[in-house]
Amino acid sequence: MPAATNFVRGKTTLWILIVFSLTVPGCTNIGPTGSVYTTPKTYVQFINLPKINPKGESKTKYKDPNKTGTVLYDTKGQKAKQLSPYFTVSEFTHSGDTSFRYARINKKLVNCLANIRAYFGAPININSSYRSWQYNNKLIRKGLKASKKSYHMSGAAADFSVKGVAITRVADIAYKLCGCGIGVGVANQWMHIDVRGYSTRPWGYSKKNLENLKSARYHHRKQCGKGRRSDEESIFGTFINEVKPVLNDLEKTIEKFLKF
């Protein structure tokens, strides 16, 4: 029956077209500096470093509180190794001046930063990436603000800046380049990104960052919808927290008024 054959053939062609359009890599775009980038692009398929399966005390020392499944690697003698066209292993295995031999490195994070690097066509400076569970606890004991579930311990977070690019511009484009499953924290001179896998509202690090934060939140909502409140939002605060004291005062005034 020719009509039926044509119908089947038509449907098959349609499916081939749909599958093809879904598998074709992202469109080629021109970045703000004239850089040509393709987004989203997978720069790193796998990480070729010796894997470590920690036992006993080490299991706690290098614990991933978020259970992301990010592998712990032994990076001894591998620090200069290239992880992607833009980054070396050492850039993902330190927290400030402290470098870790055993470190978790999440390839989604490397790919996210590589896409940002390609988009702006400018170098990225990573201030802090992996930090061990033991080291994170040390920071908390010292009285520093750090999340007990920080994605830095999962090897899935980085604090960084893009040379010559305002933080607000990076934060605003991050959801387009890295998807909605990221956590974004903004400061004035640097920002935090982690690849947690679910949408969360951006947070700020100080009162001075409100404008950056408002902008990041606007772009997050536009791109990804409402999003969850994160641990970081409770720890570091947001402009909503800035508004809170004013609301509390207002509530007290209303209560007083109602008593009379």
Which residues would be at the binding site for Zn ion (CB under 5 A)? 157, 159, 192
Task: Please identify, using beta-carbon distances, which residue of 157 and 186 lies nearer to Zn ion.
Answer: 157
DSSP letters, 36-52, are EEESS----S---S-EE
Distance in Å, CB of 152 to Zn ion, minimum: 6
The residue (of 95 and 199) whose beta carbon lies closer to Zn ion is 95
* 37/174 with CB nearer Zn ion: 174
* CB of residue 212 to Zn ion, shortest distance in Å: 15
Cβ proximity to Zn ion, 157 vs 195, nearer residue: 157
Phi, psi (5° rounding) for residue 233?
-60, -40
Q: How far is the CB of 224 from Zn ion (least distance, A)?
A: 19
Decide whether 108 or 192 has the Cβ nearer to Zn ion.
192
Burial class, 208, CB count within 10 angstroms (exposed 0-12 / middle 13-18 / buried 19+):
exposed
Read off the DSSP letter of residue 53.
Answer: -
Minimum distance from residue 255 beta carbon to Zn ion (Å): 39
Q: How far is the CB of 192 from Zn ion (least distance, A)?
A: 3
- For residue 175, the SS3 value is helix
**Shortest Å distance, C-beta 218 to Zn ion:** 21
> What residue number has its CB nearest to Zn ion?
192
Query: Which candidate, 159, 164, 176, places its Cα nearest to that of 38?
Result: 176
36 backbone dihedrals φ, ψ, rounded to 5°? -95, 125
What's the rounded Cα separation, in Å, for the pair 200 and 61? 27
Q: What are phi and psi of 142, to 5 degrees?
A: -70, -10
Q: Rg of the chain over CA atoms, in angstroms? A: 22
CB closer to Zn ion, 83 vs 193: 193
